[in-house]
Chains A and B, each alone.
Chain A
Amino acid sequence: MLLTAAIALSTLALTTQIDTTVTVARGQRLEANAFGGEIHVTMWSRNAVRVQADPTSRTQVVVSTSGSTVSVRTEGRRGPASAVDLAITVPAWMSLDLSGVYTDVKVEGAKGPVTVETVQGEVSVTGGDGIVSLSSVQGSVDLRGARGRIEVHSVNEDVTVSETTGEIRAETINGEVKLAKVDATALDASTVNGDVTYDGPIHDGGRYSLSSHNGDITIAAAPTTNAVVSVSTFSGDFESEFPVTLTNGRKGRRFDFTLGKGGAQIELESFQGTIRLVRPGSTAMKDDHDHDDDD
């Protein structure tokens, strides 16, 4: 009877919800790893990390502190860990390093550097300051409201960046790259099978490279834009909503033209897609978004 009671108590302990809070000091960072499930990070004003989870009996959640790092990870008691949802609350300044395999990652309101790596999972981040690096193999990556040096990467899904400022590198292979309301001082956006769109200011001295193999390129340029634009394609087309004067090259393959005083450098390349130059707010850009919504 005692043995039965002990087993029951042990089982209860293994399945009891975890709610742990660890005090942190400014400068400490969070490392969280979950083999499967979701890592959901939200912010609060306290200098503490709160971890809430409801692990199964097969999996435990380990919270530890070592030096400047607070670590949260799931571990299988016997074999691989099962899916566990981690709800983590951190101070907004905290640097985040989040990873998983079958793991969705969601971050809301970060004001420090953010790194996310997952294999089969969606990544959604709002905020982030400094180095923001998001990656998923088989899941979309969505970043909003970040600033700094941005790298967003997927393999098999779309990559979306919005309301973000800084140097941006966005790429996928089989998906679209969508940059809306983005204020990039430097941009490298590329995909193999998909469209690339950029809607945002073009700064004098900035460099903007948009490329695709099997997709269209659409970039919005305000009437006040100063840029040298280089267009390259093999079998695609070029369309512009306003007149441009070619400075050299031959239409249909590779050519340049200058907008305004030519302060920025824009490279638009599509092997066999259409390259479009449009005005901000153009229906061409809206058509893309509407199409996405329909999807």
Chain B
Amino acid sequence: MSDPWTDRLSEYVDDEMPPGDRQMFALHLRHCAECTATLIELKRVAVRARALTDREPAADLWPGIAARIGATTPSSGVPVIPVRRRAGGRWSFSIPELAAAAIALMAVSGGAVWLLRPAPASLATTPLPVAPSSPATVTPVPAASRPRTAGYDAAVSDLEQVLNEGRGRLDTATVRVLERNLAAIDSAIAEAQRAVAADSANMYLNSHLAATKRRKLELLRQAASLVTAVS
């Protein structure tokens, strides 16, 4: 059964929920990890969306992104859902839109840099690595982060590769700083993962883990853009 609150997350974020409902929803959040995680994503997407400026794309990145996340393209009949900008300048998303936005944010983070790497033609046809799926080795993952893990790992892997290949072009002091801070984030991720493993229903721990992983992605993206800039 679907959660009746999921369609009202935008209403909550935009402060358009009646006070009584808002209080009930706040109580609901305490027990619903999925809504909490989605709400955090929604807030972050909304914050980033507000910071965006309208700009024509330099190239159609969707085919590459779609390939990375295993999605079909609009030409295959899947409807494209436009993001609605409200008169007040705020952004509103339905849950499917949010899910797409969250995946796209992560995929674009890695994918855009990935597409900027040399020899894009050969990369476009390179088969994606597929992790072996053995039930005996599967580690339980919190529901809130389950749908995003594969895309995240792929983006991190791509960006780490860009950084590894380009580290020789960066100043050694910069590389040291990047490595030290990536190590700090990895340490925080490991601590958060251990905490989540011990208390998988803890909404804060799940959201903190997701936020810390996102931070790593952002730093890697920044590092990759430095490499690209000096190439």
Contacts and interface: CB of A to CB of B under 8 A. Distances in A.
Interface of A: 101-102, 119-120, 131, 137-138, 149, 151, 155-156, 167, 169, 173-174, 188, 190, 192-193, 205, 211, 213-214, 228, 232-234, 248-249, 253-254, 256, 269, 271-272
Looking at chain B's contact residues, the main secondary structure is helix
A167 B204 CA distance: 24
B188 interface: yes
Contacts, number: 83
B177 A234 contact: no
B184 A192 contact: yes
Contact of B181 (A119, A131, A149, A156): A156
Interface in B195-220: 195, 202-205, 208, 211-212, 215, 219
Interface string B44-57: 00010011000000
B60 interface: no
Given A120-B174, A249-B30, A232 B222 contact: no
B30 A174 contact: no
The 6 nearest A-B residue pairs measured at CB: A232-B204, A213-B188, A173-B181, A156-B177, A138-B177, A234-B195
B204 to A, nearest CB: 4
Nearest to B15: A205
B51 A149 contact: yes
Nearest to A186: B47
Interface residues on B, range: 20 to 34
B95 interface: no
A173 B185 contact: yes
25 contacts: A120-B171, A137-B174, A137-B226, A138-B177, A155-B219, A156-B177, A169-B47, A173-B181, A173-B185, A174-B180, A190-B215, A192-B188, A192-B215, A211-B208, A211-B211, A214-B188, A232-B204, A233-B204, A234-B204, A248-B30, A253-B202, A254-B204, A269-B208, A271-B192, A271-B195
A269 B47 contact: no
A271 B188 contact: yes
B203 A137 contact: no
Nearest to A188: B47
A29 to B, nearest CB: 13
Given A138-B177, A149-B51, A188-B47, A271 B191 contact: yes
A211 B43 CA distance: 15
Contacts of B202: 253-254
A254 B184 contact: no
B226 A155 contact: no
B87 interface: no
B51 A151 contact: yes
A173 B174 contact: no
B138 interface: no
A173 B204 contact: no
A233 B47 CA distance: 24
Most buried by B among A102, A188, A228, A234: A234
Contact of B177 (A155, A211, A269, A272): A155
Contacts of A167: 50
B27 interface: yes
Contact of B184 (A119, A174, A190, A228): A174
Given A119-B226, A254-B204, A271-B191, 17 more contacts: A101-B171, A120-B174, A137-B177, A137-B222, A138-B174, A138-B177, A156-B181, A173-B184, A173-B185, A173-B219, A174-B181, A190-B211, A190-B215, A193-B184, A213-B212, A232-B204, A269-B208
B173 A120 contact: yes
Contacts of B204: 232-234, 253-254, 269
Nearest to A133: B51
